[in-house]
Structure 1
Amino acid sequence: MTSPTLGSMLLSSADPQRLRDWYVAALEPAENNEGNGYRILKFGEFHVLIDSRADIGDKNPEPGRVIFNFHVDDARAVAARIDGLGSTWLAELEDRDGGLFATAIDPDGNYVQIIQLSEEQKKAM
């Protein structure tokens, strides 16, 4: 039996269009489609499906429970786009042993990390 593949996740929102627009502007997904009522964003081989649900609030009460880690080639450029959206930072862009890391807060209160690993850090993974 082969190991399962994690291919997508559902990100629910009280305002899915606003959340989709933020992710598109901040992170520029490879694909941005709508189908079957979902807003579908593709990052690498991973899909984020954004939809509404009646059983959630406007803000995530426990944003540290699940954190998106987006590996990027130019963390400074991504941070500048996020700044341009007026977003709040949990942790501003900083150098950690040659890699760049930051944690933004999306419009629903979810934590979104941007990570630019150094070549040395990539090899260690």
Structure 2
Amino acid sequence: MSPTLGSMLLASTDPDRLRDWYVSALEPAESSMVGDTYRYLRFGAFHVLIDQRSDVSAKNPEPGRMIINFDVEDARAVAARMDGLGVTWLAPLEERDGNLFATAIDPDGNYVQIIQLSEQARAEMGAA
């Protein structure tokens, strides 16, 4: 059996602000605290843990190194909600071969991409 990717840790100097942004922008299925340390967000079967760390800067100096991708049902609605939050866009919502993509910048400078794949793209990925 191969390993399963189930979660990621986002380190932040202001984890409450970062958690609040993700909750407002992307509406996770669940948001809670794990103990006294981790802010826990569940997006489908994937979990994002946000932790306060003193060994990171307030802004990510290399945000292109890792882009957090969120598959969404309605990219236009998510982008509109994010616009309402005053999000900064690295790449505004655009259509590419029947798919919708946009890349926002979270409060810590991380790149956050929303993706709405076409039925054809989903079928092709399922066949791979």
For the aligned pair, the TM-score class normalised by the smaller chain equals over 0.9
Partner of 2:14: 15
Q: Secondary structure at the match of 1:113?
A: strand
Q: Secondary structure at the match of 2:11?
A: strand
Partner AA of 1:73 in structure 2: E
Instruction: Report the Cα distance in structure 2 between the residues aligned to 1:94 and 1:120, rounded to whole angstroms.
Output: 17
Q: CA deviation at 1:25?
A: 0.4
Show the 5 A alignment for 1:48-63: 48-63=48-63
Partner AA of 1:123 in structure 2: A
Partner of 1:5: 4
Partner AA of 1:48 in structure 2: V
Instruction: Report the Cα distance in structure 2 between the residues aligned to 1:57 and 1:85, rounded to whole angstroms.
Output: 23
Q: Secondary structure at the match of 2:5?
A: coil
Partner of 2:47: 47
Q: CA deviation at 1:85?
A: 1.0
Partner of 1:98: 98
Instruction: Report the Cα distance in structure 2 between the residues aligned to 1:81 and 1:11, rounded to whole angstroms.
Output: 22
Q: Secondary structure at the match of 1:25?
A: helix
Partner of 1:71: 71
**Deviations 1:15-34 (Å, cap 9, x if unpaired)?**
00000000000000011111
Partner of 1:107: 107
Q: Secondary structure at the match of 1:64?
A: helix
Q: Secondary structure at the match of 1:17?
A: helix
**Deviations 1:13-65 (Å, cap 9, x if unpaired)?**
01000000000000000111111211000011110000110100100000000
Q: CA deviation at 1:103?
A: 0.2
Of residues 16-25 and 2-11 in structure 1, the stretch that sits farther from structure 2 once superposed is 2-11
Whose helix fraction is larger, Structure 1's or Structure 2's? Answer: 2
Q: CA deviation at 1:89?
A: 0.3
State TM-score, norm by structure 1: 0.97
Between the aligned residues of both structures, percent identity stands at: 73
Q: Secondary structure at the match of 2:54?
A: coil
